[in-house]
């Protein structure tokens, strides 16, 4: 049985797409969702799937005791799905090449500190890009700079709003993230 720890801060649509994809797969389990916001939509999704939520404040997230907490689950993969805090270096060292992230742009474009969620799509529109997309990458010590595992693009038209770009990109996220996770596990 492969074990995947999910990390999410927001609405959790990626978490939902991942859980749906693996719903009938008895070889993968999701023992816990790590979340940093008490009112995040992802908590309802966790309830729907009867998955425990580990709600962490910044102090607990930055304490090395977290390694023991996570190692208890013997995870094969840590999956960031809209998780907006930077992963501390001690976690990256504890789980080398086992932490994967999805970013809603074609990295290295529109990545780095402060570039998340709608800020990314607003910057894409302001820059009059003709395409955007997703980047699924391993996490290293630098924000959004780990090895890229997969990128997919989508065309942007000149009158697309940031919200329209967001929904096009989110569709790609839902289509591809679970497949990449599966390929990393097996
Ligand atoms: C997703 O678009 C994800 O790519 C982005 O947050 C959104 C979460 O949506 N992540 C980042 O911007 C990370 N830098 P969700 O909560 O509906 O899955």
CA of 149 to the centre of ligand 1 (A): 17
In a domain, 166, yes or no: no
What is the predicted pLDDT for the residue at 87?
A: 96
Q: How far apart are CA 89 and CA 160, in angstroms?
A: 38
In a domain, 33, yes or no: yes
What is the predicted pLDDT for the residue at 186?
A: 97
What is the predicted pLDDT for the residue at 44?
A: 98
Q: How far apart are CA 106 and CA 108, in angstroms?
A: 6
Domain count along the chain: 1
In a domain, 20, yes or no: yes
Indicate which CATH number applies to the domain containing 48.
3.40.50.170
Own/partner long-range contacts of 68-72 (Cβ < 8 Å, ≥24 apart)? 70/5, 70/34, 70/94, 70/95
Helix boundaries (H) for the chain: 13-21, 42-48, 58-61, 65-71, 89-94, 117-126, 162-185
What is the predicted pLDDT for the residue at 143?
A: 87
What is the predicted pLDDT for the residue at 3?
A: 98
Ordered per-residue pLDDT tens for the chain, 186 residues: 999 999 999 999 999 999 999 999 999 999 999 999 999 999 999 999 999 999 999 999 999 999 999 999 999 999 999 999 999 999 999 999 999 999 999 999 999 989 999 999 999 999 999 999 999 999 999 989 999 999 999 999 999 999 999 999 999 999 999 999 999 999
Whose C-alpha lies nearest to ligand 1, atom 14? 116
Q: Which of 151, 152, 173 to mutate to test the pocket of ligand 1 (most atoms within 8 A of CB)?
A: 173
In a domain, 117, yes or no: no
CA of 140 to the centre of ligand 1 (A): 18
In a domain, 120, yes or no: no
Distances (CA, A) of 40 to 8, 11, 32, 61, 170: 8, 6, 15, 17, 18
In a domain, 143, yes or no: yes
Whose C-alpha lies nearest to ligand 1, atom 5? 82
Domain that holds residue 76: 2-106+135-152+172-185
What is the predicted pLDDT for the residue at 135?
A: 98
CA of 80 to the centre of ligand 1 (A): 9
In a domain, 125, yes or no: no
Residues 6+ apart with CB under 8 A from 166: 104, 117, 118, 121
Q: Which of 15, 41, 104 to mutate to test the pocket of ligand 1 (most atoms within 8 A of CB)?
A: 104
In a domain, 176, yes or no: yes
Q: How far apart are CA 130 and CA 124, in angstroms?
A: 9
């Amino acid at each position: 049985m492969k074990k995947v720890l999910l990390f999410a801060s927001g609405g959790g649509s990626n978490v939902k797409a991942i859980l749906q994809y693996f719903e009938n797969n008895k070889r993968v389990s999701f023992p816990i969702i790590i979340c940093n916001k008490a009112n995040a939509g992802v908590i309802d999704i966790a309830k729907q799937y009867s998955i425990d939520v580990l709600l962490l404040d910044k102090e607990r997230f930055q304490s090395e005791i977290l390694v023991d907490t996570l190692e208890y689950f013997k995870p094969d993969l840590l999956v960031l799905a809209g998780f907006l805090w930077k992963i501390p270096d001690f976690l990256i060292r504890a789980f080398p090449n086992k932490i994967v992230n999805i970013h809603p742009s074609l990295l290295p474009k529109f990545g780095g500190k402060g570039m998340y969620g709608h800020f990314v799509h607003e910057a894409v529109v302001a820059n009059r890009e003709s395409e955007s997309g997703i980047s699924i990458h391993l996490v290293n010590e630098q924000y959004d700079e780990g090895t890229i595992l997969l990128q997919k693009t989508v065309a942007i038209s000149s009158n697309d709003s940031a919200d329209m770009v967001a929904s096009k990109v989110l569709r790609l996220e839902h289509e591809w993230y679970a497949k990449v996770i599966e390929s990393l596990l097996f």
